[in-house]
């Protein structure tokens, strides 16, 4: 495993374990709208290293293990970190923008950062095949990417499950934009896929305020 990916995974595990057993620590560093508005901006980053339970932690770290090594080997450690933390921050900022009027809204998890890494890997290798259990049928990465964006928009609008869809979506947007910025040549990998994703993201950014989130 790439060393920088391993370090990020270890950091997530250690911080999450601390949060599992220390409620005060968990509450101090989770994403929480009211506290962020009060000036605790660091929560936008620290919340990305906390998880609600072992399943939540394990799922995110497994995805990071699978896709992180692809991005790190393609870009190098410094650029990997820029994409990881950039996606984490963009995910938090987007989530904040969507829930800014909900004082008690809170969230934790590396999902925004991991979504950015997953999207970066898909843009680098759009024809990679992914299997989404429980359906054992491989699908191309670019199909998964487009479907993920659309589902996240639907999930955010309809508040599907106890999931921070806005952070997932913001992180995916971060991974998409940062990868294109750092390596514009990837557009030639699958131009149609890049344009479709770009159109969905542009529509969300320009017209997303018209989405009426269900309470």
Q: What is the pLDDT of residue 164?
A: 61
Contact 180, 194 (CB under 8 A): yes
Whether residue 200 is contained in a domain is answered as yes
Burial of 202 (0-12, 13-18, 19+ CB in 10 A): exposed
Q: What is the pLDDT of residue 89?
A: 96
Q: What is the pLDDT of residue 150?
A: 73
Residue 46 and residue 41: Cα distance in Å, rounded? 9
The boundaries of the domain holding residue 72 are 3-210
Q: Which letter does DSSP use for residue 47 in this model?
A: G
Q: What is the pLDDT of residue 161?
A: 44
Q: What is the pLDDT of residue 33?
A: 93
Question: Residue 196: pLDDT above 90?
Answer: no
Whether residue 215 is contained in a domain is answered as no
Whether residue 107 is contained in a domain is answered as yes
pLDDT above 90: percentage of residues in the chain? 45
Question: Residue 21: pLDDT above 70?
Answer: yes
- Residue 183: count other Cβ atoms within 10 Å of its Cβ: 16
Whether residue 116 is contained in a domain is answered as yes
Question: Residue 114: pLDDT above 70?
Answer: yes
Interval 188-208 mean pLDDT: 78
Q: What is the pLDDT of residue 195?
A: 87
Whether residue 29 is contained in a domain is answered as yes
Whether residue 182 is contained in a domain is answered as yes
Whether residue 147 is contained in a domain is answered as yes
Question: Residue 124: pLDDT above 80?
Answer: yes
Q: What is the pLDDT of residue 200?
A: 78
| CATH number for the domain harbouring residue 184 | 1.20.1540.10
Contact 71, 117 (CB under 8 A): yes
Q: pLDDT-based confidence at 211, cuts 50/70/90?
A: low
**Per-residue pLDDT tens over the stretch 128-177:** 887 765 667 787 777 777 777 776 666 666 554 445 667 888 898 899 99
| 2 alpha-carbon distance from chain centroid | 20
> How far apart, in Å, are the Cα atoms of 119 and each of 3, 11, 110, 164, 207?
21, 22, 14, 17, 22
**Per-residue pLDDT tens over the stretch 29-87:** 999 999 999 999 999 999 999 998 898 898 889 889 988 999 999 999 999 999 999 99
- Residue 194: count other Cβ atoms within 10 Å of its Cβ: 20
Contact 99, 33 (CB under 8 A): yes
Whether residue 169 is contained in a domain is answered as yes
Q: What is the pLDDT of residue 208?
A: 57
Interval 93-114 mean pLDDT: 88
Q: How many independent structural domains does the chain possess?
A: 1
């Amino acid at each position: 495993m790439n060393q920088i990916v391993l370090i990020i995974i270890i950091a997530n595990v250690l911080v999450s374990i601390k949060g599992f057993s220390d409620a005060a620590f968990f509450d101090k560093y989770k994403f929480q709208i009211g506290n962020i508005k009060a000036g605790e901006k660091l929560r936008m980053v620290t919340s990305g290293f906390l998880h609600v339970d072992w399943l939540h932690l394990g799922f995110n770290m497994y995805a990071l293990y699978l896709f992180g090594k692809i991005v790190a080997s393609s870009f190098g450690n410094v650029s990997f970190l820029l994409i990881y933390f950039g996606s984490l921050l963009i995910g938090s900022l987007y989530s904040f923008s969507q829930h800014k009027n909900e004082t008690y809204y809170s969230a934790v998890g590396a999902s925004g950062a991991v979504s950015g890494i997953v999207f970066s890997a898909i843009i680098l290798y759009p024809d990679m095949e992914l299997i989404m259990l429980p359906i054992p049928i491989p699908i191309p990465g670019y199909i998964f990417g487009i479907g993920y964006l659309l589902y996240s928009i639907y999930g955010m609008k309809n508040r599907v499950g106890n999931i921070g869809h806005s952070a997932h979506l913001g992180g995916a947007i971060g991974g998409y934009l940062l990868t294109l910025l750092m390596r514009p040549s990837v557009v030639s990998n699958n131009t149609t896929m890049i344009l479709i994703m770009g159109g969905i993201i542009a529509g969300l950014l320009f017209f997303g305020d018209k989405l009426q989130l269900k309470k």
